[in-house]
Structure 1
Amino acid sequence: MTARHFLLDTDLTSAEQAAVLDLADGYKARRRAPGPADRPLAGRSVALLFEKPSTRTRLSFDVGVAELGGHPVVIDAASTQLGRGETIEDTAAVLSRYVDAIVVRTFAQERLERLAAAANVPVINALSDHAHPCQALADLQTIRERRGGLAGLTLTYLGDGNNVAHSLLLAGALAGMRVHVASPPGYEPFEQVVRHANEIGAATGGEALVMHDALEAAAGADVLYTDVWASMGQEGESDSRSLVFQPYQLDEKAVEAAKPDVLVLHCLPAHRELEISGSVLDGPHSAVFDQAENRLHAQKALLSLLFAAEAGVAEAGTGGTGAGGADAAR
């Protein structure tokens, strides 16, 4: 059987995305009183391969696999033969003999795709330089549980057009949302990702728009979202980026420009008084810790889909072999 991978947000159809969110809500509601059907990974092992540091992703997948009845195998790539030059293809082939799925946090999207091509078990993108699709699923779950739905909502992202912005554009389009990204010139999300999101939005009612004025983008927004200005590997640019991105801080002015009941999100870790003011991060509009918790529930639902363990979820479609990641990364 060909393995089902999740390398990019568009490896789910719109219907599958909604079904995963429904399942995630169920897992969340039943977490302290799970039933037999809530352990679809019983007898299975999942490798959690980390080539980048992690807190939320590592813990949420570790706990999530265990709560689904499986055995999480956390692997620090630096302490394996990957750190001594073994190819990603050989690593994928070996891991496929030991485990039932591979969760990977890595650098280039191309590296992730090479691993998936050589694996015969599901591979999940736990973050690459190009996308962060598991984060976007948790974001959508958080928005939906606060707003009751997703279609037609406007999410405004302020800051660097990075992997998180890419996933919000694609996942938001699948959900029928309007995703507006405000970035400084030269730091916008990839044009091909924006184009892809608008192609999806033509069928779902979604929209992707890139802007340069932060307050204009925040005007009337249902959700305001930001991320760090210097991602992992860009630490040497922190000082210069702080100057360029200062007008894009998610602060009280941005909140005032948005809708009165605007929801504030940040994928964490946050740098208070840089990309977000402390008063907003800790304020009444913030849902950042619900958002962090929902990583656990959304990823449990995703794993259930990939293992075809929940009736009605796996039936939603047969697409998603990882090709979407290759198309969007080019």
Structure 2
Amino acid sequence: MTTKTLKHMLTLEELTPTDLDELIQLALDVKHDPSAYGKTLTGKKVALLFEKASTRTRMSFEVGVVELGGYPLFLSGNDLQIGRGEPITDTIRVMSRYVDALMIRTYAHGTVETLAEVGSIPIINGLTDTHHPCQVLADLLTIEETFGSRQGKVLTYIGDGNNMAHSLMLGGALSGMHVRIASPDGYTVDETIYNKSVALAEATGGSVTLYTDPAIATVGADIVYTDVFASMGQESEAEERLHRFATFQVDGALMAKANETAIFLHCLPAHRGEEVAADVIDGPQSLVFDQAENRLHAQKALMITLLA
């Protein structure tokens, strides 16, 4: 496997299209025969550091480490000395002496970059304000399961040009998918990440296109995806964002513009009546809970690749 050379998972840019294919296939194998991998991480200790609250990330990683035979060590940023000003560089040097890998869910993406540069253990980005690669691995696994292939599929993301949009652009481009991002003016994606995604897509036969009209972006889509309008740390902007994103709700009328076989995805948590209508997220096209389960299987595949 070429992924044996994988050292960290920070953005998805660490992967080639072949690496990604191998990870998705491994995730499918792990999901279908979990007992075959039950001792893969025997003796391995994985630190799980949370500076941001979490439901799915914490549970899926903690359960995943246990199911692979390893030992998860939950850490809260408030409980460590970094909460009192210890440099993150000192913290990771110490961690590198104690554990075999670190998964961190934090704010600034520069934090995970520093950890990877200074530490001597694999670093997994469980979420930053800029990227959410583990979620997108689960998303791509869900798409692969549903359609049998990711190549050529049209994924329309409706909403804020946030960490989810960034990682979907990168993961979709690596998969040879056609990614459409529809955001209001002033809330579009990072230009540098967009340009990187376009370059990746050119090499895989995919594409990445930006829209300001969600209706146009959704026509003919195979996957319709959305996220909350105000992410953690943006609570003060929530009211303004609700106003600016008022026409970006994924409802039945918008889903009708997608293909008849289209699926609806959401990284959760969801706010019914805001970014998505209840009859969509709770309807027959929604795979959000399959998608949430796949966090477990995709992340187990990632940890096997990094640590086994």
Q: TM-score of the superposition, structure 1-length normalised?
A: 0.91
Alignment of 1:148-297 (within 5 A): 148-297=148-297
Matched, 1:8 2:6: no
Count of residue correspondences: 304
Tell me how large the CA RMSD over aligned residues is: 1.0
SS in 2 for 1:271: coil
SS in 2 for 1:194: helix
- What does the per-residue CA deviation read over 1:203-255, in whole Å, with 9 as the maximum and x for residues that have no partner? 10111111000100000000000000001100111111001001111111111
Aligned to 1:320: none
Aligned to 1:321: none
Query: Greater CA deviation, 3-12 or 115-124?
Result: 3-12
1:161 maps to amino acid: G
2:29 maps to amino acid: G
Aligned to 1:127: 127
1:221 maps to amino acid: A
Alignment of 1:310-325 (within 5 A): none
1:25 maps to amino acid: L
1:144 maps to amino acid: E
2:87 maps to amino acid: T
Aligned to 2:33: 30
Structure 1 residue 3, shift from structure 2 partner: 8.1
Aligned to 1:140: 140
**Please, which runs of 5 or more residues in structure 1 have no aligned partner?**
310-330
1:5 maps to amino acid: H
* Equivalent pair of 2:178/2:206 in contact (CA under 8 Å): yes
Aligned to 1:21: 24
SS in 2 for 1:7: coil
Aligned to 1:325: none
Q: Which runs of 4+ in 1 moved over 3 A?
A: none
Aligned to 2:82: 82
User: Structure 2: how far apart are the matches of 1:202 and 1:4?
Assistant: 25
SS in 2 for 1:25: helix
User: Structure 2: how far apart are the matches of 1:143 and 1:168?
Assistant: 12
SS in 2 for 1:121: coil
User: Structure 2: how far apart are the matches of 1:41 and 1:5?
Assistant: 17
Q: TM-score of the superposition, structure 2-length normalised?
A: 0.97
Aligned to 1:314: none
**Please, which runs of 5 or more residues in structure 2 have no aligned partner?**
none
SS in 2 for 1:22: helix
* Equivalent pair of 2:6/2:305 in contact (CA under 8 Å): no
